[in-house]
Amino acid sequence: MKKITKIGLVATVLAAFAFAGCEPEEVHIGNTFDENQYKIDSVNYVIERLNNCFLDGVFDNISPADKSTSVDVFDKPQVVFNEPINTVINSYYRASIAEFIVVKADGTKVDGDYALSDDNLTCVFNIKEPYENGASYKVNVKVRFETEVVTNWRKVIADDGVEYWDGDHAWQIIKDIDGNEYIKEITTEFTAGNRPMSFNSKHILYSYPADRQRNFLPKETNLAYMILEFDYSYLLNEYKTKGYEQKIRIKPFGGETTTLDFTYTTATNGCGRGEIDYSFAGFHFDNNVIYHLAVVNIAKDSSQTDASVPYEIYAIDFRTSSYNTFPEKMGNISYSESGFALQVTGTVYQLVWNFEDLSEVVESFDLCDYNYDQQTNCLLRLNLDYDNCQWYKEKIAPLIYENEDVLSIAGNYTPPTKNVYTLGASDDYLLTDEEVETGVFAEHKKGGAFACNAGKYINIDFRELTDILINAKERNKGAEELINTDYLPNLIEGNYPMKIEYTLPGKNIVTSKYVCDLKYTY
């Protein structure tokens, strides 16, 4: 068993007494003080407490599984812990990652970085490029431990007048008597499979146009791209060495093919991504047409074609909208004259406005436009236009977000934006296989609704601020006013305008904006 240094351990033992309310004293082992025995007993004390903290060990499992073969070349190594990393356990200890490395059989380190999950129970190593065909790898994860030490002990008087012992707290790495960190580690060895010869659709993080998109707007922007989770440069380079070049080819259903150039870049920051960028400048789209677009291999010398080389590396299908731009589309949508209120709780309501698409070919919205569960991967960002909302300006801002008395105590609070508006269409699916195969866009229902949930999220802030102010040592006029307000202010008649930004996913580029002047009357 590894031994632990005396550094920090005396403080740890003393801390145990201090937390029990005792004044710290020098600790002796037996009748006489034996420094070596003291170190050993101190080590045993710390080890016992660590074992109690990590009763089932530090690690739960590691993947890929040890000695596994034909591992997916994009499979990221990961380790799962029994207790959260970087989290205080039993008031005294915490574990942290000392090392997470992936190496080839020859000892060469694999490029990448590691990241912890939000709950600190899982750590993933993000490889920068896929594993080499049939290559062997080893993963090694080491965890160190820290203990909280207290120095400069002194008597402290609490707010309630109670006197107790405390001092300066700091975290110190636990080491053995030779000065080495006390480490727990886990390893796994595996053999990779073969790299794929085309893009995996699951690795397309963002795409514009998107696969099976129903409402592509031809004149909204000329920008087009695919952002990949992994770097696929190996694939393009391999085909080039065989006498091929890669292009974008786009073809309307039953029409002629057009070839476009593209550029491929790898991420300069982050880990392991690749990106294809191209432009539709100069290309003519027809409305209400389904298009097939693909990254293809084209042989420079047609007499040297290789049957093992696929023509399409990756392909998508999408339909052009009845409209050319987003503002044009929104100008052809009719809203109900007034929204209606659905009670969430107390004085908190959701406001709903029905809408109807007036175009001859009804298209409404699809999951590329708006997806409540995956809003970072959709085109529309919906928000309450607070500056022009009477209810917010008259009732909410003075009480909460522009109440300087409240913010001086609780800190900065801004009105919520995430999930404030939702969009519901009567049919939210994408292009079907039948539509792609026949080129015929099926008729869809034209109904849908916008829903404003601002009250729900403002109420969360309202309740949180109330708790902060109630427990604050000092209060002022604005704080008292908010504390004495039992419920979120009721809705009033007036405008609840919705701002919509048409935003390219993955790039955060806003190509157009539109405001729906939605009203509410009792």
Q: What is the CA radius of gyration of the chain?
A: 31
Q: Report the C-alpha gap between 126 and 10 in whole angstroms.
A: 40
**Which H/E stretch holds residue 144?**
strand 136-157
Classify residue 506 as left (phi > 0), alpha (psi -120 to 50) or beta: left
CA distances from 291 to 88, 310, 416, 441 (A): 56, 20, 39, 12
Q: Which domains does the chain have, with CATH numbers?
A: 9-192 (2.60.40.1220), 201-319 (2.60.40), 330-520 (no CATH)
Q: Give the tokens for residue 430.
A: 């994408």
Mean pLDDT per 10-residue segment, the chain (522 residues): 36 38 41 64 70 81 97 96 89 90 95 94 94 97 90 85 87 79 94 95 95 96 96 91 94 96 84 91 96 96 82 96 94 90 94 85 83 84 95 96 94 91 76 94 80 96 95 90 94 95 96 95 90
Percent of the chain with pLDDT over 90: 65
pTM above 0.85, yes or no: no
Cα–Cα dist 455/346, whole Å: 11
Contacts with 501 (C-beta within 8 Å, 6 or more apart), sequence order: 380, 381, 383, 510, 512, 513
pLDDT score of 179 = 73
- The neighbouring-strand residues paired with 425 are 448
- Give the dihedral of Cα atoms 292, 293, 294, 297; nearest 10 deg: 90
Residue 491 contacts residue 349 (beta carbons within 8 Å): yes
State the residue for tokens 């001859």. Answer: 360
176-235: pLDDT as tens digits = 767 788 899 999 999 999 999 999 999 999 999 999 999 999 999 999 999 999 999 999
pLDDT at position 33, please?
58
